[in-house]
Structure 1
Amino acid sequence: MNHLPEAWGRPRDDVYGAYDHSHLRPSMPNQHTQEPIVTGTSVVALKYNGGVVIAADNLASYGSLARFSNMERLKQVGTHTVVGASGDISDMQYLFDTALEDLVIKEEYQNDGHHLRAKHVYSYLSRVMYHRRNKFDPLWNVLLVAGWDDGKPFLASTDLLGTTFSAPALASGFGASLAVPLLRRVCPDEESVAKISRERAIEAVEECMKVLFYRDARSTNKYTMAIVSGEDNKVDIEWKKDVELQKQSWKFAEEIRGYGAQIV
């Protein structure tokens, strides 16, 4: 054995030949992109009579650490569409800053008067996600696409497998379990969309963001909301809107039986 300090426990190269490290090398290539580190949680969206309301909080978590508090996870694409992303932040940045930016530039470069609508953007994103899945290098995101298309509000989602889904109320992340049931009370089916006003839709989404702040450890009370209105065919975005909390955020806990000095 080679007993020199720099190679303790190794066979001597001059006697047995150079040490073979091949067994230490993995048979597969490195897969660093398959391990999301910095992630964002829920995106919530709801159709109403005249448009779509979509919201996502501004927190990006490094594991369980609330690392970045100003990460906006909604992006306006063209004049008719807003895309929201949950999941890996680096993959989201690739989609927002590279893929979608290139798509808009190529579309506007022709200057033919045609603009990307929500269905076009959604079709493109669903194919990008499915293509990356087939390469065994998926983008670890769930995307919600909200917009206005052919005189109707448009809302659909796609995920890292390229699965496509459309509904009048959608949410990703923890919101799929906590927010969707609340939204379906307001809008149980597509026929109910015509009965929902803009104010009622905003109220429902705000309530969902409040519930997620209380119940989801990876969320925060700072969030971005976008309202896609069909009245003027433009996207109205309100930035960094606060969840309306009680004066003492956890005051409601005093009313729970068994809390503090209360007798069960």
Structure 2
Amino acid sequence: MNLIDSNYSNRQSSEAASERTLYPYVTGTSVVAIKYKDGILMAADMGGSYGSTLRYKSVERLKPIGKHSLLGASGEISDFQEILRYLDELILNDNMWDDGNSLGPKEVHSYLTRVMYNRRNKFNPLWNSLVLGGVKNGQKFLGMVSMIGVNFEDDHVATGFGNHLARPILRDEWHENLTFEDGVKLLEKCMRVLLYRDRSAINKIQIAKITEEGAATFKPYSLKTFWGFSAFENPTVGAEGSW
């Protein structure tokens, strides 16, 4: 082997050693979140898809962050775990100051925008869309961050298919004085629409809330569904002339 061939071979092996994941492996689908009268409500299903296979049925994607924030994520599950590790270090460092103050949701959201944008600039993005909500000093905050660092704040946010299918419902039915019960019903309606139309969604969902008193994650449960549509029994009903 001459010198040129040797350099080419070494370069190939070096490039192979530094390859990055081009596609996510195990992913979670939509997260939907809203502001309600007392704080923030968030919902996500428990599915984890290995490609197009619904491999896992008990994946939790809603996590409290510090004292004032709640995080939800869709996308690659292992990348979400990496983000949680970053946030654990951030909260630990903040607690070590012991100055009587703690990071609020705005600060955590800003940190996440920098993390996601930084990884995007390294061409090694974290394959997640994140929803960050929280309450501090009576101020409610709700925002999202995409995998390339695009971010915004709103009264209701959603990731994945939820951005297309759930937010139109929220625009019509959301209002700032929603009670906890009405907020849960609205989220269930959104999650049911996603279940019917998103192949990666399952009917086992989890809901979490955060208020001035702190975060609470509720036990997962199954949505009630209805599949007895008359069109399955007689596909020509309401469509005469098209068959």
**TM-score, normalised by the number of residues in structure 1:** 0.81
- Distance, in Å, in 1 between the alignment partners of 2:101 and 2:124 is 33
> 1:150 deviation in Å?
3.5
Equivalent pair of 1:171/1:179 in contact (CA under 8 Å) = yes
Q: Which deviations, in whole Å up to 9, do the C-alpha atoms of 1:80-131 show, x marking residues without a partner?
A: 11100111111111011x1011111111223222222111211111111111
Equivalent pair of 2:20/2:124 in contact (CA under 8 Å) = no
Task: Name stretches of at least 5 consecutive residues in structure 2 with no aligned partner.
Answer: 238-243
Kindly indicate whether residue 212 of structure 2 is the aligned counterpart of residue 224 of structure 1.
Answer: no
> SS of the counterpart of 1:102?
helix
Kindly indicate whether residue 173 of structure 2 is the aligned counterpart of residue 186 of structure 1.
Answer: yes
Select the residue among 101, 104, 117 that pairs with 2:91. 104
Select the residue among 215, 222, 238 that pairs with 1:242. 222
Equivalent in the alignment of 2:128: 141
Select the residue among 157, 179, 196 that pairs with 2:178. 196
> 1:168 deviation in Å?
0.7
- Distance, in Å, in 1 between the alignment partners of 2:95 and 2:78 is 26
> 1:261 deviation in Å?
4.0
Select the residue among 82, 88, 109 that pairs with 2:70. 82
What one-letter code is carried by the residue in structure 2 that aligns with 1:125?
A: L
Counterparts of 1:1-264 in structure 2 under 5 Å? 20=5, 22=8, 25=12, 30-96=18-84, 98-187=85-174, 192-193=175-176, 195-230=177-212, 233-245=213-225, 249-251=226-228, 253=229, 255-256=230-231, 259-261=232-234, 263-264=236-237
- Distance, in Å, in 2 between the alignment partners of 1:105 and 1:241 is 32
Equivalent pair of 2:48/2:56 in contact (CA under 8 Å) = yes
> 1:28 deviation in Å?
5.3
- Distance, in Å, in 2 between the alignment partners of 1:242 and 1:149 is 32
Q: Which deviations, in whole Å up to 9, do the C-alpha atoms of 1:163-217 show, x marking residues without a partner?
A: 1111111100111111111111123xxxx42x32222211110111111111111
- Distance, in Å, in 1 between the alignment partners of 2:161 and 2:234 is 32
Equivalent pair of 1:143/1:157 in contact (CA under 8 Å) = yes
Q: Which deviations, in whole Å up to 9, do the C-alpha atoms of 1:35-54 show, x marking residues without a partner?
A: 21111110000111221110
- Distance, in Å, in 2 between the alignment partners of 1:171 and 1:144 is 7
- Distance, in Å, in 1 between the alignment partners of 2:23 and 2:15 is 15
- Distance, in Å, in 2 between the alignment partners of 1:149 and 1:156 is 14
> SS of the counterpart of 1:220?
coil
**Which of structure 1's runs of 4+ aligned residues deviate more than 6 A?**
none
Residue identity over aligned pairs, in percent, reads 39
- RMSD, aligned α-carbons: 2.3
- Distance, in Å, in 2 between the alignment partners of 1:62 and 1:78 is 30
Larger radius of gyration: 1
Equivalent in the alignment of 1:5: none
Call closer, same or farther: CA 1:95–1:262 in 2, change over 3 Å: closer
